[in-house]
């Protein structure tokens, strides 16, 4: 199955059902005849904008139109374990498998102080626009990842 069809099915399931998390969604996709790896599903979530939102009964997957910026910020912030820097770059350590989502979140902030991010499995390399701004960019990132 191609990516566009898979992502359309993900949207359909998230919009029409109370899906609590990735494992449940993986099962629903399998029942629909779609085999997908958890890592691929995580990338799809990042591209589509699917996030986990707390409701009265627990958690539910929602699409961007249902999620506010603060919810996304809070979820991304929970995935970050540490933010460290040296003279040239900033490293963000995340929960396993979550670096891509954190990197995408930072890229979407479109800060002129950040040239870009490179994400692995549990580490994001943040490249600042200037090494003279390392401290300011690190503070900006930490502020951007904390709930208001």
Per-residue model confidence as pLDDT tens digits over 86-143? 999 999 999 898 888 888 888 888 889 999 999 999 999 999 999 999 999 999 998 8
**Tally of domains within the chain:** 2
The pLDDT value given to residue 68:
46
Per-residue model confidence as pLDDT tens digits over 32-85? 999 999 889 988 888 888 888 877 778 888 887 644 455 556 667 788 899 999
In this structure, are 16 and 51 located in the same domain?
Answer: yes
The pLDDT value given to residue 67:
46
In this structure, are 133 and 76 located in the same domain?
Answer: yes
Q: Which of 13, 41, 67 is the last residue of a domain?
A: 67
In this structure, are 79 and 18 located in the same domain?
Answer: no
Domain of residue 97, CATH code: 3.30.1360.40
pTM, full prediction: 0.54
* Domain enclosing residue 50, as ranges: 3-67
In this structure, are 49 and 79 located in the same domain?
Answer: no
Q: Which of 51, 67, 83 is the last residue of a domain?
A: 67
DSSP string, the chain: --HHHHHHHHHHHHHHS---SHHHHHHHHHHTT----HHHHHHHHHHHT-EEEEETTEEEEE-GGG--HHHHHHHHHHHEEEEEE-SS-EEEEESTT-HHHHHHHHHHH--TTEEEEEE-SSEEEEEES-GGGHHHHHHHHHHHTS--
In this structure, are 25 and 53 located in the same domain?
Answer: yes
Q: Which of 18, 36, 67 is the last residue of a domain?
A: 67
Per-residue model confidence as pLDDT tens digits over 5-46? 888 899 889 888 889 889 999 999 999 999 999 889 988 888
């Amino acid at each position: 199955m191609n990516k566009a069809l898979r992502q359309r099915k993900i949207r359909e399931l998230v919009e029409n059902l109370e899906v609590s998390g990735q494992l449940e969604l993986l099962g629903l996709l399998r029942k629909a005849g779609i085999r997908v790896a958890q890592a691929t599903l995580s990338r799809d979530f990042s591209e589509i904008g699917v996030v986990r939102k707390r409701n009265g009964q627990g958690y539910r997957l929602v699409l961007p139109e249902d999620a506010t910026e603060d919810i996304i910020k809070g979820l991304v912030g929970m995935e970050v374990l540490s933010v460290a820097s040296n003279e040239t770059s900033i490293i963000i350590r995340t929960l396993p498998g979550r670096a891509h989502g954190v990197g995408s979140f930072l890229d979407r902030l479109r800060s002129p102080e950040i040239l870009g991010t490179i994400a692995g499995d549990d580490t994001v390399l943040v490249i600042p626009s200037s090494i003279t701004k390392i401290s300011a960019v690190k503070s900006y990132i930490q502020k951007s990842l904390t709930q208001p």
